[in-house]
């Protein structure tokens, strides 16, 4: 198909199901967790996408995710090629990339950091449209009352990712003084 966007795909197996990776020459374009599947070849064609075999495009994300699911803090500073998202959504995703491994922040604290006090719901909506979960670690964002909040791939995945990073799911926070009280770390025994 002439003029189609070339996209490479790969997947890795995890304890909770497959994770698929979509990448272009420009960088990581999409991640799907478990039951969220990559578009079929037919759906891709309808979207103007041509699947190609380019392991060099998907290998950086595949290796980082394999480390992540092995319980090692990975280098997830992968180059992104996101074709979706409003300016606000992209700002939210970029700010969320700075939430450190094993830490939490709230939707409200992230909104304040972005200069949108009272914008917790807008931040949550933007994170719900995040095309690259884990790399943009929206699972590390919870409600201000310490409840878990939502996740586009389901709460089972969010709990799994938080437990993987934190060794527990307890969301009882204490302020992380290095983040100006906006981001918090769990109390560890």
Token digits of residue 132: 């690259």
Stated length of the chain: 189
Token digits of residue 142: 């919870």
Please give the Cα distance from 50 to 47 (Å, whole number).
9
Spatial CB neighbours of 87, under 8 Å, sequence gap ≥ 6 = none
Q: Is 100 designated active site? A: no
- Residue 43: CB atoms within 10 A of its CB come to 11
Given 21, 138, 162, 164, the catalytic residue: 138
Contact 80, 36 (CB under 8 A): no
- Residue 78: CB atoms within 10 A of its CB come to 18
Burial class (CB in 10 A: 0-12, 13-18, 19+), 49: buried
Which residues are annotated as catalytic? 138
């Amino acid at each position: 198909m002439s003029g189609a966007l070339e996209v490479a795909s790969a997947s890795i197996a995890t304890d909770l199901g497959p994770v698929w990776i979509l990448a272009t020459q420009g960088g990581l374009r999409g991640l799907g967790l478990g039951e969220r599947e990559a578009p079929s070849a037919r759906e891709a064609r309808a979207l103007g996408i041509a699947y190609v075999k380019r392991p060099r495009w998907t290998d950086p994300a595949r290796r980082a995710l394999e480390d992540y699911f092995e319980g090692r803090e990975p280098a997830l500073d992968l180059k992104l090629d996101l074709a979706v998202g409003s300016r606000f959504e992209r700002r939210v995703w970029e700010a969320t990339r700075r939430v450190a491994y094993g830490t939490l922040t709230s939707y409200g604290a992230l909104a304040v950091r972005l200069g949108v006090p009272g914008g917790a719901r807008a931040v949550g909506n933007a994170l719900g449209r995040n095309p690259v979960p884990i790399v943009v670690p929206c699972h590390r964002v919870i409600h201000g009352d310490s409840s878990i909040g939502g996740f586009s791939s389901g709460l089972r995945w969010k709990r799994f990712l938080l437990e993987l990073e934190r060794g527990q799911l307890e969301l009882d926070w204490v302020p992380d003084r290095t983040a100006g009280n906006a981001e918090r770390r769990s109390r560890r025994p």
